[in-house]
Amino acid sequence: MNVQRPTHSADASTVEDALAAGNYDPVIDSKTATDVALQNTLLTPRFYTTDFDELDAIDVSSVREEWDKLIGQMKADPNKGHFKKNEDWDHIDWDGMEPKLKAEFIDFLISSCTAEFSGCVLYKEMKRRGSNKDITELFQLMARDEARHAGFINDALREAGIAVNLGFLTQAKKYTYFRPKFIYYATYLSEKIGYARYITIYRHLEANPDKRFHPIFKWFCEWCNDEFSHGEAFALLMKTDPKLTESYANRLWIKFFLTAVFSTMWVRDHQRPAFHAALGVDPEWYGQEVFRKTSEISKQVFPMTLDINHPRWIPALRRMQDANAQIADGRKQGGLGGWFARMAGSAKAGAAFVSLLTIPVEKNAVPDSPRLEPAY
C-alpha cells in the first residue's frame, strides 16, 4: 500500500507524520535562531525527561468516564488541517518592521516554537516508551498537536528568513530531569498558562484588530483550545492519585511551581516592551490577567491559589524584573565589575522570589470532578 505522507504538519494525524512533513525541513538553516533555541537559562524554555516507567504505571480507571470523553474529543481532531497558512494569512513586510519590534517578535516566535517543540519531544518520548494504552494514546495525541503548533510557528519564522532546526535541537539541547510529579505540576501549569496567554491576546485583538501586526494571532483561538485540552489531561492524571495535590509536602511544591511559573512569565514578558506596545498591551495588566485566568482554572485540581492581589505581589515581581535586568547588564559588561553586578542581581532576584513565596495562599476546595471547558 502506498501511504502518502502529508506535505504539511497541519494535515498529519500522528506526530511521526507531522515531523516528517515537508514544512519541517529547515529551508534556511538559521544558526542564530537555533543557537537561541539551544540556550538553557532560567528564562528560556527547556527540554524535559522523566521516569517514563512510573508514568506508564498510572491507572486512570478512577477517572475513566471523564478520561474517555476527553480522549474522544482529542481523537475527533477538530483542528486537523488548521495550523497552516491560508487566505487569512496577510502579507508581512518584515523588512519594513520597526527593528526593535522585529527583534522582540522573532525572539517571541523562537521561544514559543521551542516551548511547543519541547512539549512535543517529551510527549512523543512517553508515547514511544510506554505500554499502557491509555497513557500512550494520550501522549501520542498531545505530541501530534504540539508538532503542528511548532511546525506552524516555524512557517511564520521562515518568512522572516529564519528557521529553527528542530531536528538538531532534539539531539543537541540539554534535557532537564524532572520526577513525574514535577512534570505534572510544571506541564499542567504551562498548558493552562499557555491557554490563558493565547486567549487573552486573541480576545484583546478581537476588540482591537488594528493592533494585530501579524496574522499568526488569528490562529490563537483554536490553538489555545488544544492547550486547554492538554491541561485537562494533566488535571485528570493528577486526580488519579489524591496524594499528589493533598499531602503537605506536595502542597508546598505546588505553591513553588505556581510562583516560579508566574514570576518567570512576568520577567520574560517584560523583556519585550516593543512587542507589547505594538499589541497595545500593558505587560503588567497582561501578566495579572493571565495569572487571574490561570488561577481560576487551576482551582479544578490545586487546593490553593496564589494571592495575586496581595500588596507584596507586584512590588516583588518588579524587583525580580529589575534584578534580571541587572544580571543581563552584568553579563554584557563582563569582567570583574560585570561579575559583581551579576551576583548582586542574583541575590536580589532570590530575595524577591522568597518574598513572593512567603505570601500566604488562598485555600480552595477542589471539586470532585475536575473537568472544565474553555470559557474565556
Total of residues contacting Fe ion (CB under 5 A): 6
Q: Tell me the window of 82-90, 142-150, 249-257, 306-314 that interacts with Fe ion (CB under 5 A).
A: 142-150
How far apart (Å, rounded) are the C-alpha atoms in residues 218 and 198?
Answer: 10
Answer for which of 19, 106, 116, 183 binds Fe ion (CB under 5 A) is 116
Nearer to Fe ion, 104 or 146 (CB): 146
Please, are residues 300 and 372 in contact by the beta-carbon 8 Å criterion? Answer: yes
The neighbouring-strand residues paired with 305 are: 362
List Cβ neighbours of 137 (8 Å cut-off, separation of 6 or more): 71
Contact status: 319 vs Fe ion (CB under 5 A)? no
In this structure, what C-alpha cell is assigned to residue 337?
565589575
Nearer to Fe ion, 120 or 279 (CB): 120
Answer for which of 104, 227, 232, 269 binds Fe ion (CB under 5 A) is 227
Element at 321 (helix H, strand E): helix 313-333
Answer for which of 144, 149, 181, 268 binds Fe ion (CB under 5 A) is 149
How far apart (Å, rounded) are the C-alpha atoms in residues 110 and 106?
Answer: 6
Q: How far is the CB of 104 from Fe ion (least distance, A)?
A: 21
Answer for which of 84, 192, 230, 239 binds Fe ion (CB under 5 A) is 230
Contact status: 232 vs Fe ion (CB under 5 A)? no
Q: How far is the CB of 120 from Fe ion (least distance, A)?
A: 8
Q: Tell me the window of 45-53, 95-103, 183-191, 298-306 that interacts with Fe ion (CB under 5 A).
A: 183-191
Please, are residues 23 and 7 in contact by the beta-carbon 8 Å criterion? Answer: yes
Q: How far is the CB of 145 from Fe ion (least distance, A)?
A: 6
Please, are residues 169 and 114 in contact by the beta-carbon 8 Å criterion? Answer: yes
Cα–Cα nearest to 123, from 133, 113, 137: 137
Element at 239 (helix H, strand E): helix 220-239
Q: Tell me the window of 191-199, 201-209, 279-287, 336-344 that interacts with Fe ion (CB under 5 A).
A: 191-199
Nearer to Fe ion, 181 or 230 (CB): 230
What is the secondary structure of 129-198 as a DSSP string?
H---HHHHHHHHHHHHHHHHHHHHHHHHHHHTT----HHHHHHHSPEEE--HHHHHHHHHHHHHHHHHHH
DSSP 8-state secondary structure symbol assigned to residue 352: H
Contact status: 146 vs Fe ion (CB under 5 A)? yes
The neighbouring-strand residues paired with 363 are: 304
Q: How far is the CB of 119 from Fe ion (least distance, A)?
A: 5
Q: How far is the CB of 284 from Fe ion (least distance, A)?
A: 25
Nearer to Fe ion, 118 or 250 (CB): 118
Contact status: 144 vs Fe ion (CB under 5 A)? no
If DSSP codes are grouped into helix, strand and coil, which group holds residue 74? helix
Contact status: 214 vs Fe ion (CB under 5 A)? no
Q: Tell me the window of 74-82, 139-147, 205-213, 293-301 that interacts with Fe ion (CB under 5 A).
A: 139-147
Contact status: 289 vs Fe ion (CB under 5 A)? no
Nearer to Fe ion, 192 or 272 (CB): 192
Using CB under 5 A as the criterion, which residues of the chain lie in contact with Fe ion when the complex forms? 116, 146, 149, 191, 227, 230
